Chain A
Amino acid sequence: MNETTAPVDTEDWSLVITPKQSLFDLNLREVWRYKDLLFLFVRRDFVAQYKQTVLGPLWNLVQPILTTCIFLLIFGKIANIPTDGIQPVLFYMSGITLWNYFSVCLTSTSSTFVTNAPIFGKVYFPRLVIPLSIVVSNIARFGIQFGLLVVMMIYYQFKGFPIHPGWPMLLIIPTLILMAGIGLGLGIIISSLTTKYRDFTVLMTFAIQLLMYATPIVYPLSFLAHSRYRTLIMLNPLSSVAELFRYALFGHATLIPGNIAYSAGFMVVSLFIGLLIFTRVERTFMDTV
C-alpha cells in the first residue's frame, strides 16, 4: 500500500491507500518500525518449536550427525570422492551446516503467504517481517549446529588435524549473509508465485535436494578441476559461497574472486526482484490465495 508522508490536497494524511502504487515503493521504513514484531516472531518460532520435547534445541544436532555419517559412508567410503585434504567428518559436517541454513531459509520463506494467510487476512503489518524473522530465527539454529562443528574441529585438532584460526574465520559472516540473502531473495519470489500457483510448493521440496548436488557440498570444487561440468557448477551462485565457507574454516578451498562477486551480484538482484514482486503481491494476495 502506498504510504506517503508528503502533503496531499493541502492536508497531512498519514496514509493514502490507492489501487496502484509506484513500482519502487518498497516500504522498508515501515518494516523498520515493526522491528519489535520481527524479534517476537523469532522468539515465538524458537520457543514454540521445542515445547514439550525432552531434548529441546539439541534436536538440531541429530540431523547433522546422522547426515554426516551417511555422507561419510556413501560419498567418502563408497564413491571415494576426495575432500580437498580436509578431514572428511569436518568436510561433510561443515557442508551440511551451511546447506541446512540455506535450505531452511528458502523453504520456509517460500511458504510465507500460504502459511500465514489466516493472520494476513485479519491484520496488517508489513508482510516482509515474516520472511525476515525466518531468516533471523534460523541463525540461532545455525549457531547450534555450528557449535557442534567447532567442537568436532577441536576434537580433530587433538587427533592431529590442525586448524589455523585466524582472520579468514571472519569470512563466515559474509558467507552467512550471502546464504541468507540468496535464500531470502529466492524465497520471497517463490512465495509470491505460490499465492496463485501452488505448484511451486511441490517443486520446491525436491528442487532444493537436487540443488544441493549442484553445489560443492559433498565434493570440493577442486574435484571438478578438469571436468566439463565445472562451468555448469560455477553458474550456481551458491558454489563459491560453499567454497568460501570452507576457506573460512579450514583455510583451504578454491577461491575465485570473480565468482564471489557473481554470487554477491546474484544476491542483490534476487533480493531486489523479490522485494518488487513481494510488495506487489502482498496488497491483494488475500483475494487469490
Chain B
Amino acid sequence: MSNIVIKVEEVSKQYRLGEVSTGSLSHDINRWWHRIRGKEDPYLRIGEENDRTKKGGSDYIWALKDVSFEVRQGEVLGIIGRNGAGKSTMLKILSRTTGPTKGELKIKGRIASLLEVGTGFHPELTGRDNIFLNGAILGMNKAEIRRKFDEIVDFAGVERYIDTPVKRYSSGMYVRLAFAVAAFLEPEILIVDEVLAVGDAEFQKKCLGRMKDVSDKDGRTVLFVSHNMIAVKSLCSKVMYLKNGTVAEIGETSQVINNYLSNLQHKSLSQSFEDPAQAPGNEKAKLKKIAINPRSGKNEDSITVRTPLDIDIEFWNFDEGKLINLTMFINTLAGETIFANGTQAVNLPAGLHRARCFIPGDFLNDEIYSLSLMIVGDRSSPICFFENILSVEIHESRISSGWHGKWPGLIRPKLEFEILTHNLQPV
C-alpha cells in the first residue's frame, strides 16, 4: 500500500478547432451539405488565418500529450510553464470540469479545486448566505460549513458586514471572504490556481501561510499552479514543468525552477524567420525578426540595469497602403504588463519594414522581463499579436551603491533626485 494519492497515466487532451463551437445547427447542416457534394468545409477556411491550424493540415490541437506523474500524500506540487503549456487544462481535468481525451487519472480522497475564488457568489445574497452557498459548491455540506463558519469570518475579517449583501462589499473584502471560504475547505487534495494574484500584500501573505498550514500541519496534498516563482519556491516541495503540453521536467523545486527560467532566457534574445512561409503572423502581416541588442556592444552576459537596449524589429506588411503601427509590451515573469509603448501610425507599402525601440539604461530593474509585440492596423484593430516572443534577464550592475539587497520595484528608472541644500537651517 503506497501513499500515492494522485496517479496520472498518459493523459492527453485534444481540442478540435473548426469542427466544434461553430455555434449553430445551420452551420453543421451547411457543412454536411458541402461534404456530401464533395466540397471543402466552408467553416474550415475561416480558420486558415490562424497559422496553427494550417500547420500539418490538421484542425486538432493537443493541449496535453501523454502526461504522467504521481503525487504523494502531503506533497505540495507546483505546476509551472509558459502560457498555453497546458497547466490550466491539467487542472481542469483533475478538477473534473472537463474530461481527458485519452489516459486515466486515479485519485484517492476528496478533491476540491480553486480555479477561481468566489465561484457562484451571488451579489444579492449576504456574506453569510454566500459562505454557505460557496462552501457547498466547493463540496462541503451544511454541517461542515457551520462548524467552520466563525473561523472563515474571522480569517476574512468581515464580521461587521456578514449580514450585508456582498454587492456592497469593497472588492478587497469580497476577495478576502471568497478566499476564506476556500481556505477552510477540508478536502484531502486541494487544487489551487493563481488565486494568490489577488488581494493586498498582507492578505497574500496570510493566504500563503494558510496553504502552508494545510500541507504541513494537516498533511493534505496541494497542487499549485502559478507564474509567481517566489510563491512556488516558498510553498512547493516538488515542481512539475510543463512545456507544450508535455512534462519537461519534474523534481526538486529550485532545480526545476532554475531550468525553467534559464529555458525562458535562452529562447530568446532574438528570434528570426527567414522564410515568410514559416514566419508567425497571418496573411496581412508577418514577423521576420525581433532582437534585443545591448548598446554597450559587448556580449549578452553583460546586460545590466545600466545597459541601454535596442529592440530591433523586422516585419512584412502584405496589405498595400495599410495604416500600421507597432505596440510593444514589457511584462514581468508573472505575466503582468509593466508598460506598453506604441509607434506612430504610418501608411506602409507592401513589403519588409524595420522598426526600432530604444530602452535607456538605468530604467529596468534587476529582473527577468518578457516582451510581446502587436502589429496594429488603422490605429485600433490588432492584426497579429506575438505574445512573450522574447525574454531578457537584466543583471545587477557591478558598480553598486553599497546596498546589496534587491531593489524594490518592477522598474528602476534613474530620476533626478538629489539633496539640494546642505544647510538650510542650522541646528
Q: B110 to A14, Cβ gap below 8 A?
A: yes
CA distance in complex: A286, B98 (Å) = 6
Q: Known A197-B25, A197-B28, A288-B21; judge A44-B107 contact (CB<8 A).
A: no
Within 8 Å by CB of B23, from A34, A118, A198, A284, lies A198
- Check A40–B115 contact: CB distance below 8 A: no
In the assembled complex, which residues on chain A have CB atoms less than 8 Å from the CB atom of B20? Answer: 196, 287-288
Task: Given A122-B115, A196-B20, A199-B24, verify A13-B106 contact (CB < 8 Å).
Answer: yes
Please determine whether A17 and B141 come into contact, CB atoms closer than 8 angstroms: no
Q: Roughly how many angstroms separate A36 CA and B92 CA in the complex, as a whole number?
A: 24
Q: Is B26 close to A, CB under 8 A? A: yes
Q: Verify if A150 is at the interface (C-beta below 8 Å from B).
A: no
A249 interface residue per 8 A CB criterion:
no
CB nearest to B167 among chain A residues:
A51
* CB-based contact A286/B92 at 8 Å: yes
Residues of A within 8 A of B23 (CB): 197-198
Q: Tell me, rounded to whole Å, the shortest Cβ–Cβ distance linking A44 to chain B.
A: 6
CA distance A226 to B7 in the complex (A): 68
- Report A27 CB to chain B, min CB distance, Å: 11
- Whether A36 touches B120, Cβ cut-off 8 Å, given contacts A16-B106, A199-B24, is no
Give the docked Cα–Cα distance between A160 and B149 (Å): 56
B146 CB → nearest A CB, Å:
11
Q: Which residues of B contact A19 (CB under 8 A)?
A: 99-103
B401, CB-defined interface residue at 8 Å: no
Tell me the complex Cα distance, A232–B149, Å. 57
Which chain B residues numbered 1 to 40 have a C-beta less than 8 Å away from chain A? 1-2, 4, 7, 15, 20-21, 23-26, 28
- The answer to whether B95 touches A123, judged by C-beta atoms less than 8 angstroms apart, is yes
A43 at the interface (CB under 8 A from B): yes
**Smallest beta-carbon distance B143→chain A, Å:** 8
Choose from A47, A197, A288 the contact partner of B125 (Cβ within 8 Å): A47
Instruction: Point out the residues of chain B lying under 8 angstroms from A288, CB to CB.
Output: 20-21
Q: Please state if A123 and B108 are interface contacts (CB–CB under 8 Å).
A: no
Q: Give complex CA distance A17, B189 in Å.
A: 15
Q: Beyond A1-B96, A122-B115, A199-B24, is A40–B104 a contact (Cβ under 8 Å)?
A: no
Given A36-B141, A123-B95, residue A48 in contact with residue B124 (CB < 8 A): yes
Contacts of B26 in A (CB 8 A): 199
* Binary contact track B349-389/A, C-beta < 8 Å → 1, others 0: 00000000000000000000000000000000000000000
Given contacts A15-B107, A40-B133, contact A123 B99 (CB under 8 A): no
A196 neighbours in B (Cβ, 8 Å)? 20
Q: How far is the CB of A17 from chain B (nearest CB, A)?
A: 4
- Closest Cβ of chain B to A52, distance in Å, is 8
- Is B116 engaged at the interface, CB distance under 8 Å to the other chain? yes
Which chain A positions have C-beta within 8 A of B92?
121, 286
Inside 8 A of A33's CB, which chain B residues have their CB? 141
Contact at A123–B113, with CB atoms within 8 Å? yes
Complex CA distance for A113 and B210, rounded to whole angstroms:
34
Closest residue of B by beta carbon distance from A20: B99
Interface residues on A, range: 35 or more
Q: What are the residues of chain A within 8 A of B113 when measuring CB–CB?
A: 122-124
Evaluate contact between A198 and B97: CB separation under 8 angstroms. Answer: no
Contact A123 B106 (CB under 8 A): no
User: Would you give the 0/1 interface string for A92-133, flagging 1 where the beta carbon is closer than 8 Å to chain B?
Assistant: 000000000000000000000000001111111100000000
- State the main secondary structure of chain A at its contact with B: mixed
* Bound form: Cα–Cα A152–B317 in Å: 76
Closest to B23 in A: A198
Closest to B105 in A: A17
A31 CB → nearest B CB, Å:
13
Kindly list chain B residues whose C-beta atoms are within 8 Å of the C-beta of A18: 100, 104-105
Name the residue in A12, A36, A51, A123 with the highest tally of chain B Cβ atoms < 10 Å from its Cβ. A123
Smallest beta-carbon distance A20→chain B, Å: 9
Would you list which residues of chain B between 98 and 142 have a CB under 8 Å from chain A?
98-111, 113, 115-116, 119-120, 122, 124-125, 129, 132-133, 136-139, 141-142
Task: Give min CB distance, A204 to chain B, whole Å.
Answer: 14
* Contact yes or no, A287 B137, CB < 8 A: no
| Given A47-B129, A197-B25, A15:B98 Cβ within 8 A | no
Task: Convert A153-178 into 0s and 1s, putting 1 for each residue whose CB lies closer than 8 angstroms to a CB of B.
Answer: 00000000000000000000000000
- B123 to chain A: closest residue by CB: A48
Contact with B along A191-204 (1 / 0, CB 8 A): 00000111100000
- List residues of chain B with CB within 8 A of the CB of A125: 137, 139
Query: With A19-B101, A36-B142, A122-B97 in contact, is A12–B108 under 8 Å at CB?
Result: yes
Asked if B219 lies at the interface with its beta carbon under 8 angstroms from chain A, I say: no
Is A8 on the interface with B (CB-CB < 8 A)? yes
What chain B residues lie within 8 Å of A12 (beta carbons)?
A: 108
Query: Quick one: closest B residue to A121, CB to CB?
Result: B97
- Across the interface, do B129 and A287 meet the contact criterion of CB distance under 8 Å? no
* B71, chain A: closest CB distance, angstroms: 13
Kindly identify which residue among A14, A37, A286 contacts B97, using a CB–CB cutoff of 8 Å: A286
Does B136 lie within 8 Å of A283, measured CB to CB?
Answer: no
Closest to B112 in A: A123
A231 to B345, CA, bound (A): 72
Interface residues of A in 176-234 (CB under 8 A from B): 196-199
A-B pairs, top 7 by smallest CB distance, nearest first, are A124-B96, A37-B136, A283-B99, A17-B105, A13-B106, A197-B25, A15-B107
List 10 A–B pairs whose Cβ atoms lie within 8 Å, in order of A's numbering: A13-B106, A17-B99, A17-B100, A43-B133, A44-B129, A123-B97, A123-B137, A124-B95, A199-B26, A284-B99
Apart from A122-B113, A124-B96, list 5 A-B contacts with CB within 8 A. A11-B1, A15-B107, A37-B137, A124-B113, A199-B25
